[in-house]
Amino acid sequence: MITVSKEDYLKSILEAESEGETVISARLADLLKVSPPAVTMALRRLKKDGLVRVVGGGEIRLTAAGRKIARKLSLRHHLIERMLSELFGMEWWKVHDEAERLEHAVSPDFEAKLLAKLGSGGACPHGNLSELEGPASRRRRGLVLLSEAEPDRPYTVSGIYERDRGLLEFLEHRGIRPGARLRLLERNYDQTLTLSTPSGKVSLGPAASQRVWLSPAARTKQ
């Protein structure tokens, strides 16, 4: 039986993978806000069910069956975020937490209605696709991290890692949101970046700039 708890573990592993992380027990405990013994017990059940496996160095990986469940829940989460934003106008930086609360309560029938209403191709309010993709996939699409941006080149914010509500609010207040145009003005000695955004000139440290993906924008004619 796939419980809500098991679904949460599987989706957290998938999300961490999409952020380029190597998933280990301690990281899962941090992501899910549970104790290390609780993670150990949960992993034991997930391995018994054939949903995860643990490889060298304690890295936790999804099996094909576990990945299928995680992707299904991730798609439901994605549709709920789009519903909250596109149909109800909720602010982009609020929808992730709300979708986390709603995703287990949605029936298959309602999920099908959402899919029919919204379609399958749209990005979520954070600019991310329904199929969670890792850094390598994003780079193949021509995207770059804000931390790797070139000075004085125009960019459009393509996607933002969405699980940190504090980060999302921080970026929103600085004009860094999906679809916003920005330009790197200066790469500073202390690893902060000075940026031009719709909110003016702002500074950003590496903890934030490594969570924002950019698409190179066409240069405007002078």
Q: pLDDT tens digits, residue range 37-90? A: 999 999 999 999 999 999 988 999 999 999 999 999 999 999 999 999 999 999
Q: Where are the alpha helices (DSSP H) in 106-181?
A: 108-118, 135-140, 165-173
Other beta carbons less than 10 A from residue 216's beta carbon: 15
Contact 22, 59 (CB under 8 A): yes
Instruction: Give the per-residue pLDDT at 1.
Output: 66
Instruction: Give the per-residue pLDDT at 36.
Output: 93
pTM: 0.89
Domains of the chain: 1-132 (1.10.10.10), 139-216 (2.30.30.90)
Other beta carbons less than 10 A from residue 108's beta carbon: 9
What is the per-residue pLDDT across 193-216, written as a single tens digit (0 to 9) for each? 999 999 999 999 999 999 999 999
What is the per-residue pLDDT across 93-124, written as a single tens digit (0 to 9) for each? 999 999 999 999 999 999 999 999 999 888 99
What is the per-residue pLDDT across 7-27, written as a single tens digit (0 to 9) for each? 999 999 999 988 888 899 999
The first and second tokens of residue 154, run together, are 């125009």
What is the per-residue pLDDT across 116-155, written as a single tens digit (0 to 9) for each? 999 988 899 999 988 878 899 999 999 999 999 999 899 9
Instruction: Give the per-residue pLDDT at 219.
Output: 62
Report the distance separating Cα 122 and Cα 118, nearest Å: 8
Q: Which residues contact 26 (CB under 8 A, 6 or more apart)?
A: 36
The predicted model gives 159-178 an average pLDDT of 95
Instruction: Give the per-residue pLDDT at 222.
Output: 46
